[in-house]
Amino acid sequence: MTRRAGWTEERRERQRQAIQCWRPWDKSTGPRTKEGKERSSRNATRERELREVETYMQLLSLRRERDAGALGGKMPSPERMTWLQDEIAALEAALDPDSGLAEFLAESTENDDDAFDPM
């Protein structure tokens, strides 16, 4: 038996009509308790913080690659070094200046003057 890809137009129409009868949007509730509402209101904050941590981890990885030559590792090519510098600058600009990570990053870059600079 072969498997058919996707839904036919008739099946889509039947499903659309069924959903119009079910009206699931009328029954969705979301959080009902005060605690549930408080918890769900923090979802966006948590997502933002996770994205910021991911950005910071990516920044650390790029910095490690950039500084590898100065630390005795394999030095990136000049083209790669230029790309790394551009990516690092873009990620630093993307960090929220009011976050603790941005503050920590600013402190950690004060000693970046001795990082290898091929240009």
pTM of the model: 0.53
Q: Report pLDDT digits (tens) over 14-42.
A: 999 999 999 988 887 888 899 999 998 88
What would the 3-class secondary structure string for 28-66 be?
CCCCCCHHHHHHHHCHHHHHHHHHHHHHHHHHHHHHHHH
CA–CA distances in Å: residue 45 to residues 6, 38, 97, 100? 37, 12, 15, 14
Give the residue carrying structure tokens 């990136």.
76
Band of pLDDT at residue 105, cut at 50, 70 and 90: low
Locate the domains of the chain by residue range: 48-112
H/E run at residue 14:
helix 9-22
